[in-house]
Amino acid sequence: MTVTTRFAPSPTGMLHVGNIRAALHNWMFAGGQGGRFVLRIDDTDAERSEERFVAAIRADLAWLGLTPDAEVRQSERFALYQQRFDALVAAGRIYPAYETAQELDLKRKILLGRGLPPVYDRAALALDAAARSALEADGIRPHWRFKLDHDAPIAWDDLIRGPQSFDPKTMSDPVIRRADGSWLYMLPSAIDDADLGITHVVRGEDHVSNTALQLQMFDAMGVAPPRFAHEALLTGAEGKLSKRLGSLGVDHFREAGIEPQAVIALLARIGTSDPVEPLADPAPLIAAFDFARFGRAPARFDEAELAQVNARIVHQLPFDTVADRLPAGMGAAEWDAVRPNLTRVAEAADWWQVIEGPIAAPAFDDETRAYLAQAAAAAEAIDWAGDPWHALTAALKETTGRKGKALFLPLRQALTGRDHGPDMAALLPLIGRDRALARLSA
């Protein structure tokens, strides 16, 4: 058996961080098992689906490096759905229902008012052929429901949540097709999973009841169901479900200067018993991926933690991977010198300005200006071919008696215009003799 997972977004909007996490975990599990990862575009809702969102989904997955092994679109598979639908109608597992939305809403309110669960009463099953013909003659077109088998509980062993059980008598027969002939999510998804050989479905715990319904659909079609893993939902830093998480996507991360490796490193581990590690290479994350390490508690997504992971990822990035995002003229030596002080790659431009100049040094007092004049004289005398920073500070320590902050800080301020920054031993050779002498003299 080839392990096959799928990510099935609807192209009705942009992917958010919860979607990205589901896509990532499906991709990681398939990769770790030597399997296949399928992108399924769930575009059965023709009115709300847009091609720009299809393109955005593909672009977001590409940015993250989650390359699918195959892509299918539900809008191109209607003939298959119709074939399965007809067979299930013939088998008595799908039936027409004629209640309007208003009538169904009234039934629900009555049941709730009596303290009963709002389960559909299957009134449509009591209609004979003549009654159905009369309704259709009046212009009432049916929607279609899948008839649940009430004889046995629905049970499965979830890869994250463990043993699960539902009583089908407490569940309404789900509507699987609208009166206009359009499809709802439930049945086409099960048909696709069967047809595409999906072996594992990794999705949020908000789909648990859907899984119970779909297990009966698999059984009605006579096919083995996939294994299911339902993950705890993401919460915000405050520890509760947050609307903001629904707006955080790849565009937001990219604009914030977040590297895709940081998104992967964080989302791979939150919700598990493993620590988040700033791994620029996803291979160790894939190798260690294990559903047994996921807990049922909500997974906390914190943008501040993502920023910290991002900084540590940036510190590992080689020049070749960022060269096209650096200022013109900035080379590997400059990148290696400033990289340890960056939280985002874009900040390298600030340090390139420090190296190239001009800079704005602070206003120094008379004593400091005298010290910097001595530094300028010492800088002219040292050997710039070796280690100019340590040569300069050693000479000044000997001639002025200064040490520690009094020795180093005025030099850094005069040479860079900053109080903090990259190691001056790496930075000073890049600033170079002429610029350094001009800055110390100024």
Binding-site annotation, residues for ATP: 243
**Among 64, 81, 79, 83, CA closest to 7:** 64
Cα 383–chain centre separation: 51
Ramachandran angles phi, psi of 127, nearest 5°: -80, 135
CA angle 127, 132, 133 (to 5 degrees): 150
Which residue type is seen at 292? Answer: A
Neighbour tally for 104: CB within 10 Å: 16
Cα 286–chain centre separation: 15
Distances, alpha carbon 60 to alpha carbons 14, 132, 157, 285, 395, in Å: 9, 48, 32, 20, 55
Residue 284 in contact with residue 219, Cβ under 8 Å?
Answer: no
Pairwise CA distance, residues 392 & 306, whole Å: 40
Residue 192 in contact with residue 221, Cβ under 8 Å?
Answer: no
CA angle 270, 265, 309 (to 5 degrees): 95
154: CB partners within 8 A, 6+ apart: 165, 166, 167, 168, 212, 215, 216
CA atoms within 13 A on the CB side of 179: 11
CA atoms within 13 A on the CB side of 152: 6
Pairwise CA distance, residues 283 & 291, whole Å: 17
Which residue type is seen at 355? Answer: I
Residues in binding site: 243
Pairwise CA distance, residues 182 & 180, whole Å: 6
3-state SS class at 176:
strand
